[in-house]
Structure 1
Amino acid sequence: MKADANVQRRLLDLAEVDAELSRVNHRRRTLPELAEIGTAEQTVQAKRDALVAVETSLGDLDREVRRQELEIEQVRAREDRDRKLMADGSVGAKQLADLEHELATLQRRQGVLEDDLLELMERREAVDADTSHARVELDKAQAALSDAQGRRDSALADLDSTEGKRAAERELMVKGFPDPLLGLYERVRAQRGIGAGLLHGRRCGACRIEIDRTTMSTIKAAAADDVVTCDECGAILVRTSESGL
């Protein structure tokens, strides 16, 4: 295949644009924010689960407190009823003794219930503090996630902008190459990632492998418009004054 030497040299500009487009795609796939977001999402889920757990415990304690308070109210109501019966003087001696015994029992029961309620309230206070702490921790985790997402979106926007500019440049550049040369370049780039490289000394600019002396002799003997390729990677070897031929 033949192509004007100046046209071949322009392949280096195309290869540089393609290299930047490849870097953009690689950068998009490997943004550090992506891993950070994954970790932050796990943290948010863990903090959310922790909050649900303490909120569930708090709800259970609230129900237990209400049950205990209701039972205390019932004991007090029973005690008030007994005291009224004793106060109106309409009960006999035996019933009065029974009421006094029941009042003593109710007072002991009320004391036990109030002690239990106090313990429940202390436990509830501690769990309520845990709940507030869990909410703060969840808010922090969500803020960290939002921050990472914002930085990711900003980085992606920059990459999209760069990609758009380079893709537009490439679209104009490829129009300046003959179809056979461009076809060879594209095939090699699809297979190897780089379609052309500068021949510098005895080294291929695409794969960086040193070319043996026999092949170099063949390249030196080739006409300026001959399209030569690297035996190792298949990339088009662009010859310039830097090639040392």
Structure 2
Amino acid sequence: MKEDNHSNCVIHTEELSKVYDEGAVPVKAVNNVHLHIEKGEFTALVGPSGSGKTTLLNLLGGLDSPTSGKVWIHGKNISTLKKNQMIDFRLHNIGFVFQAYNLIPVLTAKENIEFVMLLQKAGKEERKQRVEQLLQETGLADQGDKRPGELSGGQQQRVAVARALASKPQFVLADEPTANLDSKTAGNLLDMMARLNRDEGMTFIFSTHDQRVIDRARRVITLVDGAISKDEVRETKNVSS
């Protein structure tokens, strides 16, 4: 099978669709989406509830399989990967921020952030420095030894963001990453992600209703009924001075 040859393209989809056939009428959660995401983008997927934002993120991250169409990541058609290959591919390429946090309850904040790096077999000193850096940047320097149940919802979300960034992934898929955060904390997190975007070329794709995220995005893709209705590239100030 021919591989995608877009040299600077991180994600490329062709006729991507996801149909749920649970009722009398099939529902097209994602409807024939053609999408290119270039390296270093800071992109927001927007649209009303039920427009397909989260489903599209799950397809892009290999967490769900399309009904039809293809997803290419770094020139690789991920639908051809076996389950264990997909797990390994996600581990080394993709960071996820889930709306439900998905933290491991028996691990501390430090251990949750460190977990992906352990799977990647990163060295002890590298893990320690990276965790301390992320705890500081997310305002959790004094919360590292607490377990998720001892943290507020906003603090758990910050741990989830730090965990997604810990492995220095090629790109981050974030489903409502600022949910449950106050304006100051959300702004600090977005500034941190924008700095990583600028300084390390890390690619971010957000699913969001939050105007704070939308205002910082350099590309805004609007979904309606699972299809792209608008794709706007714009200049914006996404890094604080």
TM-score after normalising by structure 2: 0.18
Tell me which of the two structures has the higher relative contact order, counting C-alpha pairs closer than 8 angstroms and 6 or more residues apart: 1
TM-score after normalising by structure 1: 0.18
